[in-house]
Amino acid sequence: MTGRTYLAIPGPSVVPERVLNAMHRASPNIYEGEVVEMMNKLMADLRRVAMTRQNVAIYIANGHGAWEAANANLFSRGDKALLVATGLFGMGWANAAIRMGVDVEILDCGKSGPADPARVAERLKADTAHAIKVLMVTHVDTASSAKNDIVAMRKALDDAGHPALLAVDAVASLGCDELRMDDWGVDIVVGASQKGLMMPPGLGLLWFSDKAKERTAAADLRTPYWDWGPRAIGAEFYLYFGGTAPTLHLFAMREALAMILDEEGLEAVWARHARLARTVWAALEAWSAGNPHIGQNIANPAGRGHSVTAARISNGGALKLRRWLESEAGITLGVGLGMATADEPAYADFFRIGHMGHVNAHMVLGVLASMEAGMEALGISRGSGAVEAAAKTFGKA
């Protein structure tokens, strides 16, 4: 394959050259010098990216590890939690907590749109004894691409007069969709390095409120490695990481956060993701017009995340198109997740386009035009004018 290949899946995302280059250096001393001295600013910048003045902890882990870190710090065995699920990733977090001994009640809100806040409020109001300790919500479920309204979740808690902590999985949305931890009254934000934060996989992140820290002081699932306390303070350098630091990842993080926070600016990053998302949706809308075998998973644009779009081309079209794009165009699209099991024929009908992190117009428009070429080559019927509609949508915004 000549030219750059493009992994257009919803994580791991494209790592900017600058971030790669930042890692390409000799291993630093972990007892003194640059990495030790850069930690104050790095921790402050991590707080900025989640829009909090409170606490953050870094783990050498992926998103699954960050889920487990959250669970370990929040719960004692047998504690009750309410998890609002809108796709496979919500279910994943719930199952991790269940396996750790948490009594998780799953409020399954389907996978074709965001959760109805009224349903959540109703369930919280019924919990008059306040048995539910934590309300767990996925911000953008990467499998369905549904985006939940976190402000509405906070309001549901407040309207019910319910004291539960609000915990949000923002692995797929942080650095893509608007998220304001302190302003929105969020107690826990779960993140990972390899999606909107433009780093390689390897770092799990946990932001937590002072209230969460006090409330969970006696959590008995907390074990030494996962304990967020010493990590947030870093009384000694190694304590930030519970052991050896992820040295080169720290340089990657410093570079990526500078790009997001100091150069482009967080609000501009959100606006770019919104614009590119609308560009993708415009093409899908044109393709699906009069062609019901093509469609987006989330009908209402307000309920869609800006970092990933889940879609369908029936009769195995999605699988054929993914294969064609990989062999003919150097583009890898995401597989469908959680829509059908791998042994069902419908598994071949789903795909996802990742548009998170280090992406711009030529990358997204290139994917869409290549999809048009692939559908032409494969004889997949579709509405016309998709690439033009996408270009016009980007141009207009």
Ligand X SMILES: *Cc1c(COP(=O)(O)O)cnc(C)c1O
Residues that bind ligand X (CB under 6 A): 11, 62-64, 89, 138, 142, 169, 171-172, 192, 201
Cα 181 from Cα 186, distance rounded (Å): 5
Closer to ligand X by CB, 147 or 154: give it.
Answer: 147
**Closest approach of ligand X to the CB of residue 90, in Å:** 8
In the bound state with ligand X, the residue whose beta carbon lies nearer, of 64 and 213, is: 64
CA distances from 397 to 278, 287, 357 (A): 9, 21, 19
Least Cβ distance, residue 204 to ligand X (angstroms): 7
Cβ-proximal residues to 146 (8 Å cutoff; 6+ apart), any chain: 86, 87, 111, 112, 113, 114, 140, 297, 298, 303, 304, 305
Q: Smallest distance from the beta carbon of 34 to ligand X, in angstroms?
A: 27
Q: Residue 52 or residue 138: which is nearer to ligand X going by CB? A: 138
- Within its chain, how far is the Cα of 197 from the centroid? 10
Question: In this structure, what token pair is assigned to residue 396?
Answer: 């207009």
| DSSP SS3 for 195 | coil
CA–CA separation, 303 and 351 (whole Å):
18
Least Å distance, CB 172 to ligand X, is 3
What is the Cα–Cα distance from 93 to 71, expressed in whole angstroms? 9
Q: What is the CA 80 to chain-centroid distance, rounded?
A: 25
Closest separation in Å from C-beta 92 to ligand X? 6
The CB-nearest residue to ligand X is 63
Place of tokens 């469908």: 336
Distance between CA atoms of residues 53 and 43, nearest Å:
10
Nearest to 70 by CA among 196, 210, 191, 248: 191
DSSP label at 263? I
Closer CB to ligand X, 98 or 373, in the complex: 98
Which candidate, 79, 18, 383, places its Cα nearest to that of 218? 79
Of 335 and 361, the one with the shorter C-beta distance to ligand X is 335
Of the candidates 393, 380, 187, 387, which has an alpha carbon nearest to the alpha carbon of residue 286?
387
Q: How far is the CB of 64 from ligand X (least distance, A)?
A: 4
- 71 close to 97: Cβ distance less than 8 angstroms: yes
The pair of three-digit structure tokens given for residue 294, joined into one six-digit string: 């093509």
Rounded to a whole number of angstroms, the minimum distance from the CB of residue 138 to ligand X is: 5
352 is known to lie in a ligand binding site: yes
When the beta carbons of 81 and 365 are compared against ligand X, the nearer one is: 81
Residue number, 192 or 318, with CB nearest to ligand X:
192
Which residue positions form the known binding site?
352
> What residues are designated binding site for substrate?
352
